[in-house]
Amino acid sequence: MKIILLGAPGAGKGTQAEVISTHYDIPQISTGNILKEAVRNETELGLKAKSFMDAGALVPDEVVIGIIKERLQKDDCAKGFILDGFPRTVPQAEALDKMGVTMDKVIDIEVSDSLIEGRMTGRRVCEKCSASYHIENNPSKKGELCDKCGGKLIVRKDDKPETVKERLKVYHELTEPLKAYYESKGILAEIPGEGTVEETSQLVFKALEA
Ligand code: AMP
């Protein structure tokens, strides 16, 4: 099972990727999480990516394509994987094709911009393991701490309102054209993502098992 999750920032890709990953026992590969860890660890990659990320811009294609190329070679990808936040531009999708990776399904989670702006302000992420929560829709059972690892939950720098607006603009300009790209390959499934986490998961599985 090789799956891509498409959708605007805040559409719920990370949350749904975690659910799918557990269900099919395949890894969730999130370029956003890999980049954030690199920023935290102040690696060469992190230093290169930080200014783009803080501004709500995309990290250059060649950087993220390099990350994915390396990650997909690991043994745990043999059974399949979920790409969460990659590809985000047409050149990234073309690079995936050139690597010889054939995707089975692309799930596009549709949420309106206004709802996204509201969701972002309530979003919290674990500073240790990057698990994602929402103070109302998907709270941690441990309050300010992560259910999974006990790490502290924080507001992402790029979830600030002005940065969210920029990220949505970038999404519409550069990422949305991927819908047509995968529709023409016959593997796109569009699902509404404005309900609860569970409702959206049901629609995701319905699309995956169709
Ligand atoms: P995310 O957690 O997926 O929203 O990613 C956080 C940030 O990492 C994004 O706002 C981008 O700056 C960067 N990023 C993640 N994935 C990609 C990608 N595929 N291409 C370019 N930049 C990315």
pLDDT digits (tens, 9 = 90+) for 114-163: 999 888 888 899 999 989 898 888 899 999 999 999 999 998 877 888 88
What percent of the chain lies above the pLDDT cut of 90?
A: 85
pLDDT per residue as tens digits for the range 160-178: 888 899 999 999 999 999 9
More confident residue, 64 or 117: 64
Give me the amino acid identity at 139.
P
Q: Which of 88, 105, 119, 124 is the catalytic position?
A: 88
Q: How high is the pLDDT of residue 55?
A: 87
CA geometry: angle at 79 spanning 76 and 80, to 5°?
90
Q: Locate the DSSP E strands across the chain.
A: 2-7, 28-30, 81-84, 105-110, 123-126, 132-134, 153-154, 188-192
User: Which atom of ligand 1 approaches the CA of 85 most closely?
Assistant: 3
Q: Is the predicted pLDDT of residue 210 greater than 90, yes or no?
A: no
Specify whether the CB–CB gap between 92 and 64 falls below 8 A. yes
More confident residue, 87 or 132: 87
Give Cβ neighbours of residue 129 (< 8 Å, ≥ 6 apart).
146, 148, 149, 151
- In the annotation, is 88 catalytic? yes
Which of 4-8, 22-26, 117-121 is least confident? 117-121
Mean pLDDT value of segment 29-34: 95
User: Model confidence at 208, in pLDDT bands (50, 70, 90)?
Assistant: very high
Q: How high is the pLDDT of residue 21?
A: 96
Nearest alpha carbon, ligand 1 atom 6:
32
Instruction: Report pTM.
Output: 0.88
Q: How high is the pLDDT of residue 161?
A: 84
Nearest to 56, CA basis, from 9, 16, 118, 93:
9
CB under 6 Å to ligand 1: residues? 9, 31-32, 35, 52-53, 56-59, 64, 85-86, 88, 92, 158, 167
Q: How high is the pLDDT of residue 169?
A: 95
Q: How high is the pLDDT of residue 136?
A: 87
pLDDT per residue as tens digits for the range 182-193: 999 999 999 999
Pocket probe mutation, ligand 1, options 4, 16, 30, 35, max atoms within 8 Å of Cβ:
35
More confident residue, 56 or 177: 177
